[in-house]
Structure 1
């Protein structure tokens, strides 16, 4: 078992190192755009399934409450939380529409959306991403190595792994980094070159 533990930890470290080395510039761009969105009165919408749904809620909580500093709340909504909305849409239409109808109702041009799908192909995430693009939101995709979400996103963060757990571990670390940088930009005057 100890060898399995060591191998899992090593795989996680290597996956994160490769991802963050490859995406540093895009992370800076995304953090600045996220801060600009909040500064202009926009909000962040997040959507995903299963573990990715939990990541949406986790990231939204970091923005609405706080991450590492005392500051005013920032508007972020995980579209995974309202069981009445989700079940009514699923019942009256299909499960594929549970996020797209919420994006249609809540999203506007000054907002950003983060769609999370380890495969990059979750039907309800792809439909919501399409609505976000149609309505003029900036779309950020968190995915695995590929899928439709990568092609649709304004900023695509694709983790080069086929292991769902490794992908999700990178996604939550990425969410934490984006929140940390956005806080610093908005409330500590962090300016380029950061």
Structure 2
């Protein structure tokens, strides 16, 4: 019964994602435009959401399905020396904001992943992204939440944090599908 209950919860969260498929498709087109024009992605999250942020940037720098040009994408949670130095010197709330301030430029994308939408370090990163002139996208759990309020756009999913986090992996892959499909043919090469 426990496994079935978990899977039923995930099914409900994925139904919420299916209802937002057009947003993921649109984000893929915008992502292709930003990266093809020389912009970059800065992604961050905490815990499992940090892993998903790294997963997203790995797919963009490496590849998802097709051999293609690499694109500029940084997982801010992966630079342990910066994270620990900033946390030590400025406090944990600033670990992503300081990096966003250093790296983000107008036209870049800051993508923040959170199941709660209330992590202070991600809220500070959203503020920093807006100040830098970057576009801020949030992937969160249920709304309302503070991160959704700060972001330019939010993909909010219903459900328990574990189901939201599981569905965020689906979002990462679906976003990469839409991104690669939207790339100009000069950036794509069949694998």
**TM-score normalised to structure 1 length:** 0.91
Whether contact under 8 Å (1:46, 1:78) holds in the other structure is yes
1:25 deviates by: 2.4
- RMSD (CA atoms): 1.3
Residue from 40, 53, 58 that aligns with 2:55: 58
Alignment gaps of 5+ in structure 1: 190-194
Whether contact under 8 Å (1:96, 1:123) holds in the other structure is yes
Cα distance in 1 for partners of 2:88, 2:16 equals 42
Once the two structures are superposed, residues 8-45 of structure 1 have per-residue CA deviations (whole angstroms, 9 ceiling, x without a partner) of 22221221012221x12222221111111011100110
Residue from 178, 182, 188 that aligns with 1:181: 178
Residue from 33, 38, 54 that aligns with 1:36: 33
Whether contact under 8 Å (1:40, 1:110) holds in the other structure is no
Cα distance in 2 for partners of 1:13, 1:51 equals 19
Rate the CA distance shift 1:115–1:126 in 2: closer, same or farther, 3 A: same
Residue equivalent to 1:110: 107
Whether contact under 8 Å (1:150, 1:156) holds in the other structure is yes
Residue equivalent to 1:24: 21
Whether contact under 8 Å (1:71, 1:187) holds in the other structure is no
Cα distance in 1 for partners of 2:87, 2:98 equals 11
Residue equivalent to 2:9: 11
1:70 and 2:67 correspond: yes
1:77 deviates by: 0.5
1:187 deviates by: 4.9
1:126 and 2:136 correspond: no
Cα distance in 2 for partners of 1:89, 1:14 equals 38
| Bigger RCO of structures 1 and 2 (CA < 8 A, at least 6 apart) | 2
Cα distance in 2 for partners of 1:136, 1:29 equals 20
Cα distance in 2 for partners of 1:10, 1:164 equals 14
| 2:183 counterpart SS class | helix
